[in-house]
Amino acid sequence: MAASEEALMWVEKYRPKTLDEVVGLKDIVDSLKAFMKNPKTMPHLMFAGVPGTGKTTLALAIAHTLYGPNWKSFTLELNASDERGIDTVRDRIKDFSRYSRAGFGGGDVPFALIILDECDQMTGPAQTALRRIMEVGSRTSRFILICNQSSKIIEPIQSRCAIFRFSRVEKQAMKQHLIDIAEKEKYTLLPEAADRIVDFSEGDLRHAINALQTASAYKDGVIDEKTVALVIGEASPMQVQKMIRKALYGDFMEARKTMYDIMGNFGFSGTEIIRQVQREIFKMSDLTPQQKADLSGVIGEYDFRLTEGANSDIQLSALLAQFAKFGKNIEDSYADAK
């Protein structure tokens, strides 16, 4: 289809193709460039950091740099959370290395590239299996492992990789980037509107650019703060907020119902819900910093149990029960104060 040739999503359209085009991330880009000069020296890489900070972009830029326009023939992109288990991952990597080696013809890059996203979603046993796969395949391929938290990756894998940590995109850089994109699309993004998007996205460039593109669909020419506020309001997760509030106000049953709603109707996994809960808690203006920190500790515990346990809905329910208790304690302390 003709329409599919040209990237319509701005995130893709303005994704840097080479390391030189990448804005910010100077230290990381410099180290990677050193590897690119003599690709044979490139080790397995691990990119760790919150979503939307350029991990995928850099991984794809490396593929471009190594293989040129035909990069897709030498690169396998896999998403750990989409594959149905480590066996599927193994099979796909096996098939790929067999096929890609045949196509090399003695070029100066003696390996194929495997980009494995969301590695931290893999269970312990799956990671152990992954480690074996990396060992066996290391002569013919290089891995770029992408994850949110490197601490969730087992030690033996970490020690086999050069680890790069990505911090949130710096506010001013993001603002400028958004204004630039708007200009290329023949829009004027007002500074207050840009600030609003930057604040909302919390350093996640993917959210920021998608919000910008959506706002552009609402208005021709100038994108103002009002339009941005409208888009942000409509796009932020209402159900997660509702679930947290119900729990804190002591209505556990309703909170749990909402949780099943989010899982059932929208198909979110327990891990994703807990990630959003963490985000939403920090947005809540009626909690003190201390309360937020306390809740965050509780969330962390159940985040861990979620990856180890068998049923994510049980772990989430247990978290909501903790919230209800927390809410009750706040209430009690108010009552005592009186």
Partner 1 sequence: MQTQSKMQLLWVEKYRPRKIEDVTGNDEAKALFIEWLKNKRHTKKAVLLYGPPGVGKTTLVMAAAREFGFGVVEMNASDTRSEKAINAVAKPATSYTSLDSFAEGAKSLGNVLFLDEVDGIAGNEDRGGVNAIIKIVEQSLVPVIMAANDPDIDKLRPLKKVCLLVRFQQVRIPLIIALLQKICLLEHVKAEFEALERIAQNSRGDVRSAINDLQSLSEENNSLTLQDTMMLSSRNKDVSMDETLRRYFSAQSIVETSSLLLFSSVDYDDLLLSVADNLPKRYTDATELAKAFDYVSRADLFRGRIGTENWHLLKYFNNALAEASAVNPESYKPFTLITPPIRIMTLFWTKPKRSLLQAICAKIGAKCHVSVERAREAYVPYIRLMLIKKPRNPLAAYFEFTPEEVDYLTKMGRY
The residue ranges that bind partner 1 (CB under 8 A) are 1, 3-4, 7-9, 11-12, 51-52, 56, 60, 77, 79-82, 117-118, 204, 206-207, 210-211, 213-214, 217-218, 231, 234-240, 250, 252-253, 256, 260-269, 272, 276, 302, 305, 308-311, 313-315, 317-318, 321-322, 324-325, 327-328
- Helix count and strand count (H, E) for the chain: 16, 7
**81 vs 172, beta carbon nearer partner 1:** 81
Kindly tell me which of 225 and 313 has the beta carbon lying closer to partner 1. Answer: 313
Minimum CB distance to partner 1 smaller for 108 or for 336: 336
CB of residue 306 vs partner 1: minimum separation in angstroms? Answer: 9
Which residues sit opposite 113 in a β-bridge? 75, 142
Measured in degrees and rounded to the nearest 5, phi and psi for residue 123 equal -75, 165
Task: Specify the DSSP class assigned to residue 154.
Answer: -
Q: In angstroms, give the least distance from the CB of 211 to partner 1.
A: 7
- Burial group, residue 190, by CB count within 10 angstroms (0-12, 13-18, 19+): middle
Closest approach, Cβ 254 to partner 1, in A, equals: 10
Identify which of residues 195 and 313 has a Cβ nearer to partner 1 in the complex: 313
- Residue 230 φ/ψ, nearest 5 degrees: -60, -45
Please state the closest distance from residue 102 (CB atom) to partner 1, in A: 25
* Two tokens, residue 176: 């400028």
Contacts within 8 Å (CB) and 24+ apart, 265-273: 266/239, 269/81, 269/312, 270/306, 270/312, 270/313, 270/315, 270/316, 271/121, 271/303, 271/306, 271/307, 271/312, 273/240, 273/316
Largest CA distance in the chain: 80
Q: Least distance (Å) from partner 1 to the CB of residue 20?
A: 20
For partner 1, the closer CB: 65 or 317? 317
Query: Concatenated DSSP letters for 262-273?
Result: HHHHH---HHHH
> Could you tell me the smallest distance in angstroms from the CB atom of residue 106 to partner 1?
29
Tokens of 43: 């080790």
Least spacing, CB of residue 331 vs partner 1, in Å: 9
Q: Between 31 and 269, whose beta carbon lies closer to partner 1?
A: 269
**And the tokens for 25?**
């991330």
Judged by beta carbon, residue 77 or residue 185, the one nearer partner 1 is 77
